[in-house]
Structure 1
Amino acid sequence: MSFDPAQLVSTITQLQHDTVARWHEVDPDNPYEGLLNTVCQQHQFNFLLWHEEDIARSPDVTDQRIAAVKRAIDGYNQNRNDYIERVDEALIELLTAEGVAPAEDARLNTETPGSAVDRLSIMSLRIYHMNEQLDRTDVDEAHREKVAERIARCHLQHADLSQSLVELLGDLQQGKKQLKVYRQMKMYNDPTLNPYLYRRLRKAG
């Protein structure tokens, strides 16, 4: 895949849009390769996380079900964050393959491209589900107007974020900015870092 920032962002956002619609009809799949495979997998974790969050907020589910949902949410959220960093690693590989190296005075960005891709993923989910609300037949016009206004704002935010990502990728391609991957891990999922887990294991031993 060539590193054309505008084309790359367009391809990523189209992937996210297409898969959200498809995954509401069939089981989540990932027919892509390379960077797009990583982007799709990261997006899939957001898709699964979104729908577990819906269940968690349902008042008619049992405590046992809520506990299972909470564990699923923790797992998907960990995977989601892991794949944000994998997106960044895949981008570094693409830049390196093109012989791109950051300048000595290259700046860091407060948000990595992978984090922006994650936010675009969530925006695509929000837009899809907002459109579901717009299509409901059991609501009045006031509801539809409220939803339509929110959809318009979502599209504006999505467009602005997409353009910001294009600009960031352009700066990385020109060596004006540098990209680092820190390989962070959420402490609550690590039995050696979560006090409740390691104290419980110590007592059990």
Structure 2
Amino acid sequence: MMFTEKANAIFQEVIDTYHIKDDVYQSFTNKYDKENDLIAHLLYRKCWIDTVQWHYEDIIRDPNIDPVAALDLKRKIDASNQDRTDMVEYIDAYFLDLYKEVNTKKDASINTESPAWGIDRLSILALKIYHMNEEATRSDASDEHRAACQKKLDVLLEQRVDLSTAIDTLLNDIAAGDKYMKVYKQMKMYNDDELNPVLRSQK
């Protein structure tokens, strides 16, 4: 099985599980034990974060949202973004460990993004596909709406094939020593009370 076959299946599993309750405040349980299948554990958690945040973003766009509730939700989105970034780094750490014994070839090249950032996009793409499919099959929508959404869905499905192929190719190239990966920690400044001038002024 190619890596992205596993990833896409887990992402679909997460999204389906979330939508049983369809509630951003529902409890989270990771069905994959990190001791037995670390990468599945990380992928499941990553997609759950993305799925909850997707719905946070829907809620905060309500033009009638209470300003206090909107501020609270903005804080949740900020925290979710940090969790998302952390999970990307955990996934890249998994691949760094997985390929640590590979003898990189002298002419090996580096990719524009690490494997985990490609996987991040694949997770978001799974959410786009799920929700665009909802719109393409929504019974109370017009024929024109459904047709337009079906065209978008077709593009998204094609994009998933292309992105999955690119990720699998990158992982195979790293495993063969044709490419190498480096991970640069995200140096976000706005959450750091030493780097954000507004936070620093409150100390």
User: What's the TM-score once normalised by structure 2's chain length?
Assistant: 0.91
Residue of structure 1 equivalent to 2:160: 158
Q: What does the per-residue CA deviation read over 1:127-155, in whole Å, with 9 as the maximum and x for residues that have no partner?
A: 11111112322211000000100000000
2:45 to 41, 44, 55: 41
Distance 2:104 2:75 in 1: 40
Residue of structure 2 equivalent to 1:31: 31
| Contact 1:35–1:91, Cα closer than 8 Å, also in 2 | no
The residue type paired with residue 4 of structure 2 is: V
| CA deviation after TM superposition for structure 1 residue 103, in Å | 2.3
| Contact 1:9–1:166, Cα closer than 8 Å, also in 2 | yes
2:2 to 4, 7, 10: 7
Displacement over 3 Å in runs of 4+: none
**Percent sequence identity over aligned pairs:** 35
Matches within 5 A, 1:194-205: 194-201=196-203
Distance 2:103 2:79 in 1: 35
Task: State the secondary structure of the residue aligned to 1:189.
Answer: coil
Distance 1:174 1:116 in 2: 19
| CA deviation after TM superposition for structure 1 residue 7, in Å | 1.9
Distance 1:197 1:171 in 2: 43
Residue of structure 2 equivalent to 1:110: 112
Structure having the higher helix fraction is 1
The residue type paired with residue 80 of structure 2 is: Y
| Equivalent pairs, count | 194
1:180 partnered with 2:182: yes
Q: Which has the higher contact order (CA 8 A, sep 6+)?
A: 1
User: What's the TM-score once normalised by structure 1's chain length?
Assistant: 0.90
1:193 to 175, 181, 195: 195
**What is the CA RMSD across the aligned residues, in angstroms?**
1.3
Residue of structure 2 equivalent to 1:61: 65
1:19 partnered with 2:47: no
The residue type paired with residue 65 of structure 2 is: V
